[in-house]
Amino acid sequence: MSTLSRPKSPHTPTAIKKGEKEDSFWDKFSTLGRKRGTREVKKIQEEGKYAIDSPGSPNQYDIPPEDYALREHEQRAVIDPQSINDPEVVKLQRILVDWINDELAEQRIIVQQLEEDMYDGQVLHKLWEKLTGKKLDVPEVTQSEQGQHEKLNIVLKAVNHTLGFHQKIPKWSVASVHSKNIVAILHLLVALVRHFRAPVRLPENVFVTVVIAEKNAGVLNAQKFQEQITSEYDDLGMRCEKDAFDTLIDCAPDKLAVVKKSLITFVNKHLAKLNFEITDLNTDFRDGVYLCLLMGLLGGFFVPLHEFHLTPQDPDQMVNNVAFAFDLMQDVGLPKPKARPEDIVNMDLKSTLRVLYSLFTMFRDYA
């Protein structure tokens, strides 16, 4: 990034002189490594070389001795260098960089490399403010690594709140983002693109190979696994695939009325146990209260009243309620709704119908 005056990353490599070896991939991404004595390092190096380069592990890794210096039961994760150069991964990063630069063009902020420009929270702070239209009270520039951590912590809390991570744990953290873990940063930015329906088309089914090293009983073991960054989307803005409800609303309003009546009957059958009744699917579920209560009734459990807002005072509290209800839906075995909590709060009829129909399909025979 060129226009904001920021302190250089504590991880930013200096210029490499001729004859010097460039920092390894693990140098750039590791946060758990520790320097050890020469003898121990040499021993751990031999263990690590055997674990990673032994038969059955096709890729050879050029990793310096200090990168194997793990404590007992300590883990380290790193992306496979070959994976980060995959054309689809490169394409995804380019699209995300262009999207951020388009969003922040008026502020003359230019992002060039995701891990170098996103790690301290400054660009993420500006991006969140631009996307939400809100202001976050944090320092513009932080001069110390501790200050960067503190700012990033505040910014990520705001981002996670916006994205609806009230119960679930996101695939990124302050530690992973600040250590320039590109996998965590990609997950974070893809989530923002999808949440705000950004007018970009992300490459589908992008995977990266991640290597996990762990030391147990003095022996270093390494395993590789595929981490999915993007899945399948249909078009700009990542909207849900067309389904029967699109057809009902667009082409068959008479049949839509029948479906709405059936869903209202189903919902009231259960809400009547609490002496509640709904009349309008589009408006009665927008604050999330009935949805939370309905999930408790259908799931056969009590929903603690302190977990949601019984009388929400603003859209944020309504979004919190709906997001909490979505978490409860997943807890009882339903797939994560394709709709966003904001869609229900904004009274998007198709989204509300899809959510209620998934409940109807699973619990239609529940007394």
Does residue 45 fall inside a structural domain?
no
Domain end marker among 228, 262, 286: 228
Q: Looking at residue 72, what is its pLDDT?
A: 72
DSSP codes, 82-113: HHHT-HHHHHHHHHHHHHHHHHTGGGT-----
Q: Looking at residue 22, what is its pLDDT?
A: 47
pTM over 0.85: no
**CATH number of the domain residue 327 falls in:** 1.10.418.10
Same domain, 147 and 85: yes
Look-up: residue for tokens 């595929």?
226
Does residue 28 fall inside a structural domain?
no
Determine the Cα–Cα distance for residues 66 and 48; give it in Å rounded to an integer. Answer: 11
Same domain, 106 and 204: yes
Same domain, 205 and 108: yes
Same domain, 197 and 257: no
Amino acid at 240: C
3-state secondary structure of 23: coil
Does residue 46 fall inside a structural domain?
no
Same domain, 170 and 280: no
Domain end marker among 228, 256, 287: 228
Q: Looking at residue 326, what is its pLDDT?
A: 93
Same domain, 109 and 209: yes
Same domain, 342 and 258: yes
Same domain, 214 and 324: no
Same domain, 197 and 248: no
DSSP class of residue 35?
-
pLDDT for 46-65, tens place per residue?
544 444 444 344 444 444 44
Same domain, 180 and 289: no
Query: Which residues share a beta bridge with 211?
Result: 78, 224
Does residue 57 fall inside a structural domain?
no
Q: What are phi and psi of 78, to 5 degrees?
A: -150, 145
Nearest to 327 by CA among 136, 132, 163, 178: 163
Does residue 27 fall inside a structural domain?
no
Domain end marker among 195, 228, 261: 228
For residue 156, give its domain range.
Answer: 79-228
Same domain, 191 and 116: yes
Does residue 116 fall inside a structural domain?
yes
pLDDT for 138-154, tens place per residue?
887 777 888 888 999 99
Q: Give the start-end residues of each E strand in 185-329.
A: 207-216, 219-228
Does residue 51 fall inside a structural domain?
no
Please write down the long-range contacts of 235-242, taking CB distance under 8 Å and 24 or more positions apart. 235/201, 236/199, 236/200, 236/201, 237/197, 237/198, 237/199, 238/193, 238/194, 238/197, 238/198, 238/202, 239/197, 240/338, 240/339, 240/354
Q: Looking at residue 23, what is its pLDDT?
A: 47
Q: How many independent structural domains does the chain possess?
A: 2
Same domain, 258 and 339: yes
Per-residue pLDDT of the chain (367 residues; tens, 9 = 90+): 544 444 434 444 444 444 444 444 444 444 444 444 445 545 444 544 444 444 344 444 444 444 446 677 666 677 788 888 899 999 999 999 999 999 998 888 999 999 999 999 999 999 999 998 889 888 877 778 888 889 999 999 999 988 888 777 899 999 889 989 899 999 999 999 988 888 788 888 899 998 887 777 777 777 888 889 988 764 444 444 455 555 655 566 677 788 888 899 999 999 999 999 999 988 999 999 999 999 999 999 999 999 999 999 988 899 899 999 999 999 999 988 878 888 888 888 888 988 998 899 898 877 5
Does residue 32 fall inside a structural domain?
no
Amino acid at 270: H
